[in-house]
Amino acid sequence: MAFELPDNLHPNCGPIAWMLGTWRGNGHGDYPTIDAFQFGQELIFTHDGRPFFHYMARAWVIDENGEKVRDAAIETGFIRAVGDGRFEILLTHNTGIAEIWEGEADNGKFEWTTDAVARTETAKEYVAGKRLYGNVEGDLLYAFDMAAMGQPLQPHLWARLKRA
């Protein structure tokens, strides 16, 4: 699907402009404290001309046939363009976690590292993360590594999404 840069795109958002729009696909998850699983996901990146994107993601667990089993994670927030390919990311999750990330983008690659994590009293332990988003053959590929539940930073989620 062809993608055109919006006329009102803020120049500082240029390095991640390719992400704008809606993306859907499937991925895999694994971690030492849970059973491996597959999931479907939708990511939505929007903007209004100011130097930030609004981001929303929702996921659902799927079975081996790709059929939805149950709803899973939801996260939303803002990707703030600082300039020179640098970004500040603020995310909140339905699981009671709020995060601040620092990111850098260049040549179709967008890498995030956590700067701060806050949790509600009932949220599971989560202390750090690293994300890598890439434009690969026109698809959005990503990987999410996390440190949680007493485990060191390690792979947790990976997916390939197509522009919807």
The four Cα atoms 97, 132, 154, 56 give a dihedral, to 10 degrees, of 30
User: Which residue is associated with the tokens 């209004």?
Assistant: 48
Identify the CA nearest to 74 among candidates 47, 48, 96: 96
Contact assessment for residue 116 and residue 106, using Cβ atoms and an 8 Å cutoff? no
State the distance between the two ends of the chain, measured CA to CA, in whole angstroms.
8
93 annotated to a ligand binding site: no
Contact assessment for residue 136 and residue 109, using Cβ atoms and an 8 Å cutoff? no
User: Which residue is associated with the tokens 């197509």?
Assistant: 162
124 annotated to a ligand binding site: yes
Query: What is the phi/psi pair of residue 69, to 5°?
Result: -100, -45
33 annotated to a ligand binding site: yes
Known binding-site residues for heme b equal 33, 124, 156
Annotated binding-site residues read 33, 124, 156
